[in-house]
Homo-oligomer: A and B are copies of this chain.
Amino acid sequence: LSVLGREYDQVCGVAKALELIGERWTILLVRDAFLGLRRFEEFQAKNGIARNVLTDRLNGLVDAGIFERVLYHERPPRHEYRLTDKGRELGVALNALREWGERHLLDEPPVELRTRTGKKRVVARLVVEGTRTLQPSDVELVRR
């Protein structure tokens, strides 16, 4: 197998990830979940996305194991969507993308990523394995 051959896409992590979350709305819904959104009406109000498209994307994210559907009210039954561990692990890629977009495409970053406990600034970077790193659950995104 050559990484430069056409067959590489079948085993390329980037290509595989894009098959699942390569659609713009899908990624933005994952972002919204990191921002704290959980309910259909919240996702809908924030994005102004058509309800049938939103339903489709949320179901896709549940099928992909990135969101889980949780009953939060019994009568009438109401569900909300929460990031699974697998979904939360997308936090590294999303924050790296956010940083790049802020650095190159915006005058001023509107938000800041920091540790929940120490309020230290957090960045997404390449590091040697074994370096002290943070879990997506250790950090919070706040307005600057």
Contacts of A115 in B (CB 8 A): 128
A sample of 14 inter-chain contacts (CB < 8 A) reads A1-B143, A3-B35, A4-B35, A4-B36, A6-B45, A14-B94, A15-B31, A17-B98, A17-B101, A18-B24, A123-B127, A126-B134, A126-B136, A131-B131
- Distance A86 CA – B105 CA, assembled complex (angstroms): 11
Q: Which positions in A face B, CB cutoff 8 Å?
A: 1-6, 8-9, 11-20, 22, 24, 27-28, 31, 35-37, 42, 45-48, 65, 86, 89-106, 109-111, 113, 115, 118, 120-129, 131-136, 138-139, 141, 143
A28 to chain B, nearest CB (A): 6
Q: Are A126 and B95 in contact, with the CB atoms below 8 A?
A: yes
Q: Which of B1, B4, B42, B126 contacts A46 (CB 8 A)?
A: B4
Q: Which residues of B contact A48 (CB under 8 A)?
A: 6
Inter-subunit contact A96/B110 (CB<8 Å): no
